[in-house]
Structure 1
Amino acid sequence: MTLRRTVLSLLIAGACSPVFAGTVDLTSLDDATLSPRFIVKYKSGSAERDQATVRQRSLDAAATRARPQMSAKIAALQGNAALRVQSLRATVGGKHVVKASQRLNRSEVEALMRAIAADPNVESIAVDRLMHAAAMPNDQVLASHQMWHYGTGAGGARVTTAWDAGATGAGVVVAVIDTGATHHADLEANLLPGYDFITDAFVSRRATDGRVAGGWDTGDYSAANDCGTGAPASNSSWHGTHVSGTIAEVTNNTIGGAGIAYNAKVVPVRVLGRCGGYTSDINDAIVWAAGGHIEGVPDNANPAEVINMSLGGAHECEVDTQTAINTAVGLGATVVVAAGNDNSPVTGHAPASCANVVTIGATGASGQRASYSNYGPGIDLAAPGGAGTEGVPGGYIWSTLNNGTTVPGSDIYAGYTGTSMATPHVAGIVALMQSVAPQPLTPSQVEGLLKATSRPFPVKQSQANGSGIVDASAAVARARTFGQPIDGLPTTPGVVMVLPPMAMGERDLYAIDVPAGATRIEITTYGGRGEVQLLLGYETDPLPGQNAGASSRPGINQSIIVANPAQGHYYLAMSATKDTSGARMLIKVY
């Protein structure tokens, strides 16, 4: 796997511009020197926004204004060879993607952007940024070494135990927004028709800029200097094939390895090619994958309940990307994204820092945070991504791949590391959860269950890495009973309860009956030794992000107060974060 560090800038800031000109975002000029594409927002109701001919006239005028500031070579070009700016298509948010006909340097890109923004009907212009796969290079080995990351060891995701409980992902669709997929014999049977969303022939290596059906990975290799001056040549990564195999590699067929949700289906969506992929294409792909309509593309006949995005760039979450994610979530898709591999705070990376996503950090075979994994409060939970330092097979994640250095060759199995590899573990587990849930779980319910059932890290993490390591067995068990009648331990208000000892990681659920007219609930735990955390839910098993009250101070002494409670049943979840004994609880209902 090739990790291509993003050339995207970290900050987003509007630049100074002429009076009445639109906002000009100059923070990713390097991307535009590779392929000069821009996202232009025209004012609502303007002719430029609604009429293609008027929009093109505006772009032609901008090219004319900018031409004197170009290099002598470009400025001298005449006729059809002269600098032109073409409107390619509309994109999410009512914006338009436009592209210059010539490669430009940084100063020329800025001059052209300011010339476009000089149209009084242009509200803003920004570079169509490039994003890249979030995985790191590794040795390739056979997929027969998967047990450390699927099993019950220190770094395992407990997938095998979920299989034992009958969860296979049957009936669930997962979209993998990535480099596409190859015709791998141990994967293709679980692939549904996908789509290639790349709208740049240089990136896609197709003959035209048009989108095409299929979602097949034809290679993302590059020659020296293709991706910028001094950039080395790179082989095709087949990244999407590796990610898809972790989710749904064909299983019980005597060859290769296993996919986590091996009876689920994958819709491959190609957005990454040579040098990465454009955010405008990725945003459209997010909406399409969830079942939303994108102009010029047939609707997805198999809308995904889960979307895997093992990709990203070093910049904050953009409005358009957030809008696309919100649309997908509104359609019922859980969006699972990689935290990134820069060993830096996740807040500076997208889509990892976007809202309404499940952001995944990476751990190694001993359960420690992988040294490359981004970190911080924005990480929701961690999953096996490989550490690369613990030997074969414990250092790598094993899955389907291809041995072609440029175009597809033969099927193989290989070991990679990265948050790219951690993310499909969680996407596959979400498919397992949805396949056993009595009714489809909402994205927020999925996220809450994943975090609530994650197991404590077996070793101290060097940086914040989420709620714990994903636990497929516990998540599937909770999903199977979600929304069903809850069996809580009985309590008697006003009577002190001596609580039984609890081992670290244990969780008990208590039921509290609240009559009509009650004005207050007070819950207090005290005494003994150890440490507990409390969550309170109304008519539901509470989750960290979905509760009526919480208390998580160090030690046993915890308190929750609810004013004006509703009539019915409240459920108190008590979790031991350290071994406990001798604790007491007093519940009062007024």
Structure 2
Amino acid sequence: MVVPSGLITEGDTNDTQSPLRANDTPATAEPIPNPGIVVGFGSALPTGVVGDRFEKTADEWDSFKVSLAAGQIVALEVSKWDAVQPGRNDLDLFLFDSNLKLVASSEGVEQYEGFYVPADGNYFVVVRTMHGASTYQLFVASADQVSAQAAAMGLNRFGDFVPGEAVVTVQPVAQAKVVGMTLDRVAANDRPISGATVVAGQANRAMRVQFARAAAKAVGAESAEREPWSGHVMSSEESVRAETIRQIKALRASSDVRSASPNYRVSANAVPNDPLYKLQWHYPLINLPEAWNITDGSRGGAPVVVAVVDSGVVVTHPDLAGQLVAGFDFVSDTRASRDGDGIDADASDPGDLAHGGRTSSFHGTHVAGTIVAKTNNALGVAGVAGGARVMPVRVLGAGGQGTTYDILQGFRFAAGLANDSGRVPAQRADIVNMSLGGPGAVQAFQDAITDARAQGVIVVAAAGNEHSDRPSFPASYSGVISVSAVVPDRSLAEYSNFGPRITVAAPGGSQYLDENADGRPDQVISTVGVDTGGAPGWTYEAMPGTSMASPHVAGVIALMRAVNPGLTPAQIDQLLATGAMTDDIGPSGRDDQFGFGLINAYKSVLAAQNLVVATPAAPVLSSSEKLLSFGAARVQMSFELRNIGGGALSVTSVTSNVPWVSVAPSSVDANRLGLYSVTIDRAKLPVGAHRAVITVTGATDVISVPVSVVVSAGAFPGNAGLMTVMLVDPLTQKRLYGTAMLSTNGSYAFSMSGIAPGAYVLLAGNDPNASGYICELGELCGVWPLKASPQLISVSSNLTGLNFAVLPDDTSISKIWSAAVQSTSPFERVIQAARASMH
């Protein structure tokens, strides 16, 4: 049995059988790995349970020390969080620098807390239990889906907000309690809310609220305040900010309050503040951030409209709010529609149950999010053309399947052509995206595409995922921009179709590669729905495919239409053929893998502008990577230098500002444009987080590529503390044998004897909350041979070599963006899965 490196259990859990390592103070702070996961326990009051370690004393503080790099995320998951009573088990997260000064916090009442690390350095990470008691998981990592959400939603005292103010909405039943423009009568559970005055807005919508006590602190009407863990004396500004967060936290804990957030300051910015934008590796790959400096897809008058002919859209997804125009549902077979009828005006996706008949793909929602997910709203992902709008046209039903006829009718509707609905949209689509396909060609469809192009409609479609040169339709119809898929290193994706009909390539992601070292395959993340019973909920998910590549191209063309509303399909064809919209990444000229090359958003927008005002584009030096993050393990990475403008451009020098970073050309042309390899030497660095800068000097401009490196204090072998190993009869759930074993360098040796013959589940876990049960939410749990697919062990003689891994239970982590609630414990799910395997 093995505990992976970097996974540890903190030193003062509630389990009296586990060795005690106090970690309550700065002097006793416990070293933790980076990256790493810490399983812990906290209690705001004594548990009162006889035999508990914290029977008579609280475990309010858990302190850890670690070296961190700027931009990393520290996140916390509260395992025993209660959605009905937020804050009943309430843990907060704090970051202190080496001088014990607070520099970041996350002080909500939600299940997830987190923040971004503000600068390189050595830090104390502190978990404080405010109410109740709970196990927890503490994450130190690069940006990922879990921690990015925590950082976006956490109440950070050091956020850019107006001190003393909040934006608040109340539940409909509580609107009458907002009396005299104050919130004093709003129920506060066990937390004080006083002097909350409404200065703008109304009870039936958002209100701007000011806090009297924060104002008193601002003028020094109260005595100096100290941080309770470090003893640091707060300045007046720090005290006002702390009070603001406390009052907002109290509001969030109230059942009368629907939402409460700081009154954040917002400024125009071409780089989105969407928390998952850091995972959208595919946007820098096509020079999209540079294009955003010109346009986000907005235009005066009628918006640019992209029709997504697909499975419909989860219209309640908050990242698509305000981003949709009216569409239509053309799934004519009532058996396949899953919405109880045939064609109708409701294009929302009820779910297709495409994943083995259990969960749905919400494919159209993913495609729509890539094109128009709301940008700079501090939520989720950014769309390629957030200023444009999507027209959802539903043509795929149960199983993610549709018919050519239904798809044809949907396409005709989007293009403003006569169709079975008897209506056309008030504004036809500028662009139609079809991330779908099949082997059969239909002349009526080709005719409709020809008619649509004559009306100015640009048609984009996915080339298909069969890794074949066989034609797929509609991508292979004449007049359609057929899109193949590339992975982060700009090679053809392992699944992508190819052949003479390919027009252009775009990011589709990989099922296997992890070029950015975030621990997961580099796929395209976007909006999706989630099946929770009743109306679909919402979440975010990463998927690979040419279906994901196609909307990148549709979104870029939407940006082009924004700066040149008169852009025609024929002009797009010409720009593609001349390389004005792409980077030629294959053999010179058009080829069967990438068509005319990889779509380049910046070049495309410039090309569209130049058709309006014929001015030659200047050369622009650009790097494929905006930050080389080596983390704690990587030694070598690469980046590519490109000319994303026009004209000639040469690189004169590529240098590092420190001796521990070396840069060498890997594959460059005569102008020294191309791939460069970067190698770091950790032996020259002390323990801690370090930064460097690679400076690239070109003939026309200079750019910088930051480098981030973490040097750990040494290896952190996995250590789960005390473990219990047991065999369980899956039918009776009777525990037949259990023993506790201590770890040695992350490995646990165990042996059992005297076991009656039979079929058993072999599992192991720790018990940090001393509940008497292992494999609860937030605890470590291992099942032989894999937790995801337990198998029965038939015991009839001696068995050896039963190795398996012990990992955190991640059921709730994987559902962070959804409202789904698991009704069974991890232990019960293991036993149920084992029982099912017996039949």
TM-score, structure 2 as length reference: 0.39
Once the two structures are superposed, the pairs formed by residues 164-183 of structure 1 within 5 Å of their partners are 164-170=293-299, 171-182=303-314, 183=316
* 8 Å Cα contact 1:140/1:415 also seen in 2: no
CA positional deviation for 1:388: 1.9
CA positional deviation for 1:144: 3.9
Tell me, which stretches of 5 or more residues in structure 2 are unaligned?
1-143, 149-275, 619-641, 649-668, 671-839
Out of 479, 493, 509, the position equivalent to 1:370 is 493
Out of 442, 445, 456, the position equivalent to 2:584 is 456
Q: Distance in 2 between matches of 1:466 and 1:264?
A: 26
AA of the residue aligned to 1:359: S
Q: Distance in 2 between matches of 1:459 and 1:402?
A: 40
Q: Distance in 1 between matches of 2:616 and 2:357?
A: 60
Residue aligning to 1:96: none
Partner of 2:593, secondary structure, is coil
* 8 Å Cα contact 2:603/2:644 also seen in 1: no
CA positional deviation for 1:402: 1.6
Q: Distance in 1 between matches of 2:368 and 2:645?
A: 34
RCO higher in structure (CA 8 A, sep ≥6):
1
Residue aligning to 2:347: 215
- 1:162-202 Cα deviation digits (max 9, x unpaired): 00123434420110000000020111310111100111001
Q: Distance in 1 between matches of 2:390 and 2:552?
A: 14
The alpha-carbon distance between structure 1 residues 472 and 485, as it changes in their structure 2 partners (threshold 3 A), is closer
AA of the residue aligned to 2:380: G
Q: Is 2:589 the counterpart of 1:444?
A: no
Out of 349, 352, 363, the position equivalent to 2:472 is 349
- 1:379-404 Cα deviation digits (max 9, x unpaired): 00100000122224661001011221
Q: Distance in 1 between matches of 2:369 and 2:405?
A: 26
Q: Distance in 2 between matches of 1:140 and 1:407?
A: 25
The alpha-carbon distance between structure 1 residues 206 and 390, as it changes in their structure 2 partners (threshold 3 A), is same
AA of the residue aligned to 1:478: A
The alpha-carbon distance between structure 1 residues 191 and 488, as it changes in their structure 2 partners (threshold 3 A), is closer
Quote the RMSD (CA, aligned, Å).
Answer: 3.0
Residue aligning to 1:282: 407
* 8 Å Cα contact 1:194/1:214 also seen in 2: yes
* 8 Å Cα contact 2:505/2:598 also seen in 1: yes
CA positional deviation for 1:203: 1.3
AA of the residue aligned to 1:480: Q
Residue aligning to 1:188: 321
The alpha-carbon distance between structure 1 residues 394 and 158, as it changes in their structure 2 partners (threshold 3 A), is farther
Q: Distance in 1 between matches of 2:421 and 2:326?
A: 17
Q: Distance in 2 between matches of 1:337 and 1:506?
A: 27
Name which of structure 1's ranges 454-463 and 252-261 shifts more when overlaid on structure 2: 454-463
AA of the residue aligned to 1:397: V
Q: Distance in 2 between matches of 1:504 and 1:411?
A: 39
- 1:90-142 Cα deviation digits (max 9, x unpaired): xxxxxxxxxxxxxxxxxxxxxxxxxxxxxxxxxxxxxxxxxxxxxxxxx9877
CA positional deviation for 1:257: 1.2
Q: Distance in 2 between matches of 1:178 and 1:140?
A: 26
Q: Distance in 2 between matches of 1:178 and 1:246?
A: 14
Q: Is 2:288 the counterpart of 1:159?
A: yes
Once the two structures are superposed, the pairs formed by residues 3-402 of structure 1 within 5 Å of their partners are 143-151=276-284, 156-170=285-299, 171-182=303-314, 183-209=316-342, 211-221=343-353, 232-275=356-399, 276-315=401-440, 317-345=441-469, 347-391=470-514, 392=518, 395-402=522-529
* 8 Å Cα contact 1:335/1:356 also seen in 2: yes
AA of the residue aligned to 1:383: A
AA of the residue aligned to 1:298: R
> What is the number of equivalent residue pairs in this alignment?
345
AA of the residue aligned to 1:199: S
Q: Distance in 1 between matches of 2:334 and 2:346?
A: 16
AA of the residue aligned to 2:447: T
Partner of 1:413, secondary structure, is strand
* 8 Å Cα contact 1:235/1:405 also seen in 2: no
CA positional deviation for 1:405: 6.3
* 8 Å Cα contact 1:177/1:269 also seen in 2: yes
Residue aligning to 2:610: 481
Residue aligning to 2:154: none
* 8 Å Cα contact 2:585/2:594 also seen in 1: no
- 1:206-260 Cα deviation digits (max 9, x unpaired): 3333x1102110111169xxxxxxxx53521000000000000011111111011
Partner of 2:432, secondary structure, is strand
The alpha-carbon distance between structure 1 residues 458 and 348, as it changes in their structure 2 partners (threshold 3 A), is closer
Residue aligning to 1:418: 545
AA of the residue aligned to 1:414: E
CA positional deviation for 1:291: 1.2
Partner of 1:477, secondary structure, is helix
AA of the residue aligned to 2:290: T
Moved over 4 A (4+): 139-142, 405-408, 458-463, 486-489, 503-509
Q: Distance in 2 between matches of 1:433 and 1:411?
A: 30
Tell me, which stretches of 5 or more residues in structure 1 are unaligned?
1-138, 224-231, 490-502, 510-529, 532-590
* 8 Å Cα contact 2:525/2:541 also seen in 1: yes
- 1:449-504 Cα deviation digits (max 9, x unpaired): 24522012289999622111100000001101214345699xxxxxxxxxxxxx99
CA positional deviation for 1:288: 1.0
Residue aligning to 1:13: none
Partner of 1:203, secondary structure, is helix
The alpha-carbon distance between structure 1 residues 350 and 405, as it changes in their structure 2 partners (threshold 3 A), is farther
Residue aligning to 1:105: none
Partner of 1:372, secondary structure, is coil
Q: Distance in 2 between matches of 1:234 and 1:428?
A: 31
CA positional deviation for 1:306: 0.4
AA of the residue aligned to 1:348: P
More helix by share: 1
TM-score, structure 1 as length reference: 0.54
Residue aligning to 1:582: none
AA of the residue aligned to 1:472: A
Q: Distance in 1 between matches of 2:534 and 2:570?
A: 40
- 1:6-59 Cα deviation digits (max 9, x unpaired): xxxxxxxxxxxxxxxxxxxxxxxxxxxxxxxxxxxxxxxxxxxxxxxxxxxxxx
The alpha-carbon distance between structure 1 residues 488 and 332, as it changes in their structure 2 partners (threshold 3 A), is closer
* 8 Å Cα contact 1:288/1:294 also seen in 2: yes
Residue aligning to 1:24: none
**Structure with max Cα Rg:** 2
